[in-house]
Structure 1
Amino acid sequence: MAALRVVVFSGTGRTLLNTSKSIHTPRANMSFASLPKRKKIALTTIGVLTTGGAGLALMLQQSVKASDLELHPPSYPWSHNGLLSSLDHASIRRGYQVYKQVCSACHSMEYLAFRNLVGVSHTEAEVKTLAEEIEVVDGPDDSGEMFTRPGKLSDYFPKPYANPEAARAANNGALPPDLSYIISARHGGEDYVFSLLTSYCDPPAGVSVREDLYYNPYFPGQAIGMAPPIYNEVLEYDDGTPATMSQVAKDVCTFLRWAAEPEHDQRKRMGLKILIGASILVPLVYYLKRHRWSVMKSRKIAYRPPK
């Protein structure tokens, strides 16, 4: 009986092992093509409604976020926006005159020195004359006392206020920003600054502006603490150019673009040199790769032992 049980159990074990090998587990096929037609229509409808709802919600969110009273600056055709276009250096010179006579009363440019103007908008003699017009506190001298001296090329543009607290006190709590990199620091660049300078107007009906503030649709919040800085004939250009509001705004924006990116012309000049060099070098490299090195790369080296 023991021998019989061993034979029966062993046969059962083989049967179970063989059975387990022959069992095939069905794979779940969840592809879209295998679904019934009704389910396809239902899933497609749900997808379209979800996408449309998300797009509508995004549009509503953007319309609520961007106020109807706040405008985005248009894109103006600046002469230096071209791929190989340089800055208008005559406009830079006039823009410096606008900054000196109008903007410097409130705004500083503490990262710009007089020497930066040499060869860009003024000659060295002209810049020395401009620098000598200011008084700079220097020292100490041999006796340990501070003294004042005329400015020189290495001096930076003078600040209108001694510190930020004095600037806030003189402007009803508002701090005039430094203009050294204002073009790069504002979304829209010179388009925004130009639109801001030329778009002061009366507030529309139903909009009230607090006292000592001015309505400007391009400024975030539409209420700005800076009074309209420019208008027609606000100054007289040295070269005789008519000083209309748009001309003054254009010149000071060009000057601020140069101040924020003094390497503008050099960068484009270097890019042109690289393109010219690449137009000569790339075909030469392609020729060497395709017709010279291909022989070396496609050859077959085989070892044939001596017989």
Structure 2
Amino acid sequence: MNMFEGLDVFNSLPYWDSASMFVNKSETCATRKLLQCRDMGIYMNDVWGKFSGDEIPDLPKDHFAERKRVVEAVEKWMEENKGTENDMDWTPILYNFEVAKASAKRNQDWGHLVFTDPTLSRFLLVMCFGPDKDGHGHDAHDHYLAITKYHADRFFSLAKYVFAGRPEPTWVRATYTTFTSSINPLFLNSQDPQVPEGTHPPIYQATPETFTPYLTEGELERIDSTIMQSKRWKVPPANLRDAVLARGPRPKPLHTTWLCGRSAEVCGNCGEVATAKMPQCAVCKIVRYCNRECQRAHWPTHKKYCRKNRD
């Protein structure tokens, strides 16, 4: 029996809910990851193990190396500060993500590393960029900061929306790295949202008072579709939707050939990592498949939460 045949057995059990109970360590959907962390605990969802080797199949090797450098720096900082006033337990839960499946339209819509504390209310977000210059030879740091702020505000908006107060996010503290710039020690040593001017790389902190709503109508529809896949999860009320709905433009595209790109697509039936673009369900536009045979095989499971049967 393979993994997916085993899932069919579980799906027949009355208490089994695959959307909320099946943990994928390579998960790229931040909505699902946050709700699974809340319901099953962050240690069931951590991605420490992803960084024990030298590469993983779903990230280019150089992008993986940049993320591993950050993960190891955070791990080292925790060891050095254990038992001190700075003692904090940070757990990595995402290393390449979009707010919901198929929601990212540009490379810049993909977030990179997210760590959470045990309360699931405070988050560290680190974007891993490359050269200090953009594709035109201009300084890229203003662009990097704009994209980092964009992701911090989006992640805060997402946590506020999907948690619906259980728990309420306190802040998302964000920074970025480049080939020549590692994490600034102040990023981990302080939780003060007032960061001294001239800090490099810059640090930004999204809070309930300062965050900019950055989720579009289309993204909120996909987030709701993800939530509806589980009997345990409830679509948040309309007032929360209004509170996180984007009202301003997204950052302009950055002209560079080096941005940590989108994750490889994975078949919803067999789990195969794509070598070319995969077709998606034409109705919900969330799940992707290797071919029509995989789509037909997955339909008995997928039909339970496909938008076609929800509308």
Greater C-alpha Rg = 1
Q: Same fold (TM over 0.5)?
A: no
TM-score, normalisation: structure 2: 0.23
Under a length normalisation based on structure 1, what TM-score does the superposition of the two structures give? Answer: 0.23
